[in-house]
């Protein structure tokens, strides 16, 4: 199963875009990239996922490089409530229930 590498922590000013990177250089062709976040004292929450095309939903945008070896989660206008740990996960295609969360990136949104 592919592993991911994320920075341990990042800071972002409130109202600015937060760009969270993730490296997944060993990803295989059929594996998807998923992002979850975990706010303090809560369970993880799904944000977005993608295979090779960029994706956008009401929460965030996901940019996947053409070689699929890295991706970036973009929170367009970060708020204080976006302060959380963000997990980048690569999910094997035929093992829908195997998630390796890793340690994630702690995003600190500051006023």
Partner 1 sequence: EAGVVQSPRYKIIEKKQPVAFWCNPISGHNTLYWYLQNLGQGPELLIRYENEEAVDDSQLPKDRFSAERLKGVDSTLKIQPAELGDSAVYLCASSSPGTTQDTGELFFGEGSRLTVL
* Residue 39 token pair: 């706010």
User: Beta strand 55-56 with 61-64: parallel, antiparallel or unpaired?
Assistant: antiparallel
**101 forms part of the interface with partner 1 (CB under 8 A):** yes
Q: How many CB atoms lie within 10 A of CB 68?
A: 19
Member of 16, 77, 98, 110 binding partner 1 (CB under 8 A): 98
CB 90 within 8 A of CB 3: yes
Binding span for partner 1 by CB under 8 A among 16-24, 42-50, 58-66, 68-76: 42-50
Task: Summarize as ranges the residues that interact with partner 1 (CB under 8 A).
Answer: 32, 34, 36, 41-46, 49, 85, 87, 91, 96-104
């Amino acid at each position: 199963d592919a592993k991911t590498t994320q920075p341990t922590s990042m800071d972002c000013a409130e109202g600015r875009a937060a760009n969270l990177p993730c490296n997944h250089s060993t990803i295989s062709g059929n594996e998807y990239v998923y992002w979850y976040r975990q706010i303090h004292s809560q369970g993880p929450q799904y944000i977005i996922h993608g295979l090779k095309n960029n994706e956008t939903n009401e929460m965030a945008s996901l940019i996947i490089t053409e070689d699929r070896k890295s991706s970036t989660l973009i929170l367009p206008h970060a708020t204080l409530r976006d302060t959380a740990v963000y997990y980048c996960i690569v999910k094997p295609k035929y093992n829908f229930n195997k998630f390796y969360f890793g340690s994630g990136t702690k995003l600190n949104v500051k006023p």
